[in-house]
Chain A
Amino acid sequence: MQAGQSPKIVNLHGSLTVDRAAALMGEISEALKGGENVLLSISLVEDLDLACLQVFYAAKAEARAAGKELHFLGSVPMRISKRLVACGFLHGVSEHAEDFESALVGF
């Protein structure tokens, strides 16, 4: 994250499933429109399905295209980490958001 910029933090919590994907997309879009870099705080996420995971990938692509930065923040809930390992997105359980993000396949 570049110095001097105050990032917008999006606090995520609970079950991020398909019925919340549109709202999640709206929230992140809004944050990206604000002209700031975006941090997604994932410590309190209890469940994550493919629809919301796709939103994260799409948001990263959007941020990259707009010359902004989008990163994860906090600690990664073990349940999420394990699920993503089983589905091939990670090669090993990542505890910290920074490691998680750099290990996320194709992110």
Chain B
Amino acid sequence: MALSIDKFKSTFREEAFELLGHLEDDLLELESQPKNGELINSAFRAIHTVKGSAAMFGYDAVSKFAHEMETALDLCRNGTLSITKDFIGLALKGRDQLRQLMEFEEGVPTEIAKESELLLRRFVEFSKRGQSPGAPSHADIQGAGPVDPGNSSPRNAEAKTYRITFKPSKGIFKNGTRVLNLVEELAALGRADVFPHMEDVPPLGALDPESCYAWWEVLLSGPIDENSIRDIFIFVEDQADLRVEQVKEEADGSSKRLGDILVDRGAVSPGALREALGSQKKLGEVLIEKNLVSTPQVESALVEQEHLKKGQERVEAAAGSIRVASDKLDALVDLVGELVTLQARLAQTSLDLRDVSLSSVSEQFERLISQLRDNTMSIRMLPIGSTFNKFRRVVRDLSLELGKEAELATEGADTELDKTVIERLGDPLVHIIRNSVDHGIEMPEVRDLAGKPKAGVIKLSARHSGAYVLIQVSDDGKGLDREAIRSKAIERGLILPSMEIADQELYQLIFEPGFSTAKKVTTVSGRGVGMDVVKREIDALGGSAQLSTVPGAGMTVTLKIPLTLAIIDGLLIRIGGEFFVVPLSAVDGCIEIRRDDLAALGEKRIISYRDELVPFVSLRGFYEFAAEGEGEPEIEQMVIVSAQDYRIGLVVDQVIGDYQTVIKPLGRMYRDVDGVSGATILGDGTVALVLDVNRLALVVQRESVR
């Protein structure tokens, strides 16, 4: 019995942490959209659910604290109190405190209990303020309203889709109406696809600059009632043509066809549609050719089709997903790893025995294992956007602390990578972003003088590139100071005063331990610890970090991270009697070169490959293997790999072929071996080392410069 209660408690904690994550996102969004009722409702629901569940599972301190936060949020929700920057700051602190309190089912340490009391008092004081001057009226809060506590999950509310046509009158600007604000408010009510129509805007010669020509079609989905949509336009209802229609989705859940959407909208008659459908061409093209509809009408209908499709996918995803503890997933990946290793052994055995039927079974087994591996790895893939919101908080808090203005823009939040990689990326990204706010973004007055907007922008983006994900953090701050870095590098003995060094290499020195050009040490940075930690962690992930900068215009840090750390496709090679694996994603090609030609190069270890000079290293020499003696082949094999944004060649004794590699951590003995990142077990039970291509590239590059 105790066991099952513990299981429920663990689920409660997981869900509470998730809800507190959503609460943080909502509060951060509310800071820029304080009148967005949907956000206030969502924040209220989150805190309400945490309060109820915490009381049920005996987390009394959490429940008590959440109760006061809920009271304050309720007053904001019903319009009695306004949402200010101060309130957001307080609510975010409250959210952090709740997270801390979640660690203690009972017996909260005195210090934390005291902090809670102080914060609680501030919430009580806030709630007591009642009707504060300038508090918004009920109509100001768009879409907010009482939430049925029994129906506190947004998922339980009935989602509807509306097609809204908003055609402002030509004279709408004359009374000072800001049309874009209305559209923004509308889009903030739920999941929106907004289609602007600008086709009525005439050329400049015929334009009346004070007349409105633009109009919109908006597809809006969510637990929204029609009145909250109409409320947005309440003050312009006599100066606009507003149509709000609820879109009926197909009863069988299938995607709605373009033709049906156009008929629904009254853009084309059913008869004309039937006639157009007889053509071999695409329906949209036929209707445009026949002048039955305009191009924007078709584009807008396609937006609606996509909107409905996405909505359907969301419903299906929600209905077809289950929550699984991450340790169970880890165990599954381990088992798949064992299977991959066993399969390699089976393949080896069938080869040794030269048994045709066993070979056939082994091949089928290999195909299945390969599919199982891909499926299992895809389960562990998470969108990186799940971590982006925590960085928004970092930027907000730090810029406030430093008296700066900065905001975070994100791109590619849907990019997926292995959950283990995502977890380990958190700290390095926090360091980079803190560094950008502290060292990159200038004070508002300095930015103003430099002709930049007062608020700086830090852009965090992610995208796939082969078997890697490229994550970029760029800012529009002052960029790196080349001379300051050079002086510091000389002072620290990293370079000689007489040494000429390329900018790119000089900037990389920022990743050296203890390297900081900050004139004073602050609580934020300046101790030269952050970027060193970044480099170490990214190296450990098998990735690389690159810096680029434009003085006065900003800096960009690019992280190249492998999609997964568990099982990879590798290229098996042999040096002497030992086997190594090169990650296949890094392999650019394999070439053969005569031993005599290599020897003729002497100390100059550079070859020409695809019109490019490529430095190379003999792994036999690098790992100090004994020479093979007279049996050495006349033709050497060279594997060309791409790493650190350039190519290097690795001279090996034999290229064996591709190999599914289950990466195992290195034992203590191998931890200090340069250029090795892990190990794997081969089919015959022997161990092969996995090469750290980035590390090798760095060593080779340095040696070739010398």
Partner-B contacts on A (CB < 8 A): 18, 21-22, 24-25, 28-29, 32, 43-44, 46, 49-51, 53-55, 57-59, 61-62, 65, 75, 77-79, 82-83, 86-89, 92-93, 95, 105-107
B204 cross-chain contacts in A, Cβ below 8 A: 25, 28-29, 32, 55, 58-59, 61-62
Q: Which residues of A contact B407 (CB under 8 A)?
A: 78
Q: Report if B381 contacts A (CB, 8 A).
A: no
Q: Given the interface contacts A46-B453, A55-B209, does A88 sit within 8 Å of B173 by beta carbon?
A: no
**Cβ contact of A106, chosen from B183, B188, B206, B296, cutoff 8 A:** B296
Q: Are A78 and B409 in contact (CB under 8 A)?
A: yes
A25–B73 Cα gap in the complex (Å)?
A: 46
For residue B185, which residue of chain A has the nearest CB?
Answer: A86
Given A79-B453, A89-B196, A93-B409, check contact A54 B216 (CB 8 Å).
Answer: no
Q: Chain A at the B interface: mostly helix, strand, loop or mixed?
A: helix
Chain B, 209-249, contact with A by CB distance < 8 Å: what is the 0/1 string?
Answer: 11011101010000000000000000000000000000000
Distance between Cα atoms of A49 and B214 in the complex (Å): 12
Flag if A50 contacts B202 (CB, 8 Å). no
Cβ-Cβ contact count across A and B, 8 Å cutoff: 108
Q: Are B187 and A78 in contact (CB under 8 A)?
A: no
List chain B residues, Cβ under 8 A from A77: 453
Contact B209 A87, beta carbon cutoff 8 Å: no
Partner of B213, one of A24, A25, A54, A79: A54
Q: Are B194 and A51 in contact (CB under 8 A)?
A: no
With A21-B210, A22-B210, A86-B184 as known contacts, state yes or no: A49 contacts B178, CB within 8 Å: yes
Given A46-B453, A77-B453, A57 and B409 contact (CB-CB distance below 8 Å): no
A28 to B199, CA, bound (A): 20
Closest-CB distance, B240 to chain A (whole angstroms): 13
For the complex formed, measure the closest distance between the CB of A36 and the CB atoms of chain B, giving whole angstroms: 15
Contact A78 B202 (CB under 8 A): no
- With both chains docked as a complex, state the minimum distance between the C-beta of A67 and any C-beta of chain B, in angstroms: 13
B613 interface residue per 8 A CB criterion: no
Q: Is the CB of A83 within 8 A of B196?
A: no
The distance in angstroms between the C-alpha atoms of A57 and B194, with both chains bound, is 18
26 A-B pairs in the complex with CB atoms less than 8 angstroms apart: A22-B210, A24-B209, A25-B204, A29-B205, A32-B204, A43-B451, A46-B453, A50-B173, A50-B179, A50-B180, A51-B209, A54-B214, A55-B204, A58-B202, A58-B206, A61-B202, A61-B203, A62-B203, A62-B204, A75-B476, A79-B453, A82-B409, A86-B183, A88-B187, A88-B216, A89-B196
The 5 closest A-B pairs by CB, nearest first: A88-B194, A21-B209, A62-B204, A62-B203, A61-B203
Closest B residue to A105 by beta carbon equals B196
Pick from A55, A92, A106: contact of B196, CB below 8 A: A106
Structural contact, B455 and A58, CB atoms closer than 8 A: no
Judging by beta carbons under 8 Å apart, are B210 and A58 in contact?
no
Smallest CB separation, B165 vs chain A (Å): 13
